[in-house]
Amino acid sequence: MPVIRQHEPQNAPPWSEISHYGVNRLKAGDTVELHYHSCNEYWIIVSGRGTCTTEGDTYEIGAGDMVLTKAGDEHSLLVTEDMVAVYCYGIMPEGGLHGHLHRERGIGE
């Protein structure tokens, strides 16, 4: 079983359905701007609370919740209670870009 470390290059084995991941530690009042990704993205809320918008719908989220966002769907987050969240990118398509993509700019950050 391979181990991928967060602060090392992420070279997942070819059979993996995860192409990238990270841990976000966010403070109450923090926001994550409206953006999208080239691949599916999954958030697992470890602690805290917030309001996320994905696919035009708004959800109150908290510890134990998982947010699933399809490739190309815009989503955002408002943190209402200090939050720890793990995010994972699904399989990145050929030519896909990592990071936050924006419709008005069309590029990643």
Please state the domain count of the chain: 1
Residue 1 belongs to some domain of the structure: no
Cα–Cα distance for residue pair 63/77, rounded to 1 Å: 15
Tally of CA atoms within 13 A in the half-sphere of 8 that contains its CB: 5
State percent of the chain over pLDDT 70. 91
Residue 2 belongs to some domain of the structure: no
The pLDDT mean for the chain works out to 89
Residue 108 belongs to some domain of the structure: no
Choice between 81 and 56, residue whose per-residue pLDDT is larger: 81
Q: What's the confidence (pLDDT) of residue 104? A: 72
**pLDDT higher than threshold 80 for residue 109:** no
Q: For the domain that residue 83 is a member of, what is the CATH number? A: 2.60.120.10
What's the domain range around 51? 20-89
Choice between 61 and 104, residue whose per-residue pLDDT is larger: 61
